[in-house]
Amino acid sequence: MARKSAPVNANRTTIKDVALRAGVSPATVSRVLLENYPVAAATRTRVLRAMRELDYVVNAQARALSGTSTKNVAFLADDVTGAFYAYIARGVMHQAKDEGRLCIVCNTDADWDQIVRFIDLMRQQAADAVILVGGARENEAHEQRLIHYAHALDRSGSRLVLVGRPPLADPTAPATVVEYDNEGGAYAITGHLLASGHRRIAFVGQVPGLVTSTQRVAGFHNAHRAMGVEADPKLIVAGDHSRAFGHQAARRLLAEGAEFTAVLAATDVVAAGVLQALREAGKRVPDDVAVAGYDDIPLAADLYPALTTVHVPQEELGRAAVRLALSREENAGPQHLMLGTHVVVRDSAPPPGRVPVAISRT
């Protein structure tokens, strides 16, 4: 039997189309899909190749044929060992359990090829939702691939969910977005430092091309403009979001004789490194230098002094992602939720009224 057939629209691909392309019967394709009957290795290979060529996935009809559903949600993050991601994952897992689903956790190491492979695998497995957290880069090619997969997941009965990332550039792409007021949080924490009298504030941990970093730096600048203060570009230090970088960056600022009375770290983890460097240099926090972070991970309250930071509702981000994705048929409106952030004032950057010694001398 001839294996070649006319191109088939992926939206309408059926088992019969796969059978025709592979040169087998529809019953054989079903056996390969359900793995409920022995199939020769060469035949299985032909069927799987035909499925790839036709972009066929195990859709709702195929699941109905087997009498089962995957009932899975997938959680994809750059680094699931990081506290920020871990608490979002906990929210996803708890809500998935409440919804009768299992949660598959995937660590991507911020590797784009790895991200795409995981998304495609979950598409083939017909996961109820594929939740992608963090790591959004300002990259047009990546954006277009995500738009493609949003449509592909939708065709297979699944849903792409973006957490802590902006909406896709294509407003017609079927994706759920759960984000938080990232820029607003940076604006608020910078405003807190400015209201406390600081005029020379260093921003440590800018990551060029990373959307969350761009938003936080924007909030930092906007707060300065609102207060009529000019931010010194030399005090914005580019790097990454590690503790080691925070330590290194603070030491470099001190060694160069940079003038600053406060540091806003891009994350709490970066702030931990900054605090260590200031202690090693004999600087008192907050009397000589105030320090603030971002995220409000549990570590923040345990640092010495306890860290002033921006609270991000991490667990609720995860729970909301699952709730929205699984209720999209009942809630046909826009699948876009913005959660708020707020400043948590602790000892490392006290409220206005307690003026640091370093400021009173100027």
Confidence of residue 95 (pLDDT cuts 50, 70, 90): very high
Span of 50-64, 208-222, 319-333 with lowest mean pLDDT: 50-64
The residue ranking higher by pLDDT, 117 or 312, is 312
pLDDT surpassing 90 at residue 277: yes
The residue ranking higher by pLDDT, 12 or 325, is 325
pLDDT attached to residue 61? 46
pLDDT attached to residue 70? 60
pLDDT attached to residue 59? 52
- Model confidence over 19-41: pLDDT tens digits? 999 999 888 887 777 665 678 88
**CA angle in degrees (0–180, nearest 5) for 152-121-61:** 60
For residues 317-324, give the mean pLDDT.
Answer: 96
Domains in the chain, CATH or no CATH each: 10-56 (1.10.260.40), 72-177+315-340 (3.40.50.2300), 183-308+345-360 (3.40.50.2300)
Contact 39, 28 (CB under 8 A): yes
Residue 129 host element (H or E): strand 129-133
pLDDT surpassing 70 at residue 9: no
What pTM, to 2 d.p., does this model score? 0.79
For residues 185-208, give the mean pLDDT.
Answer: 97
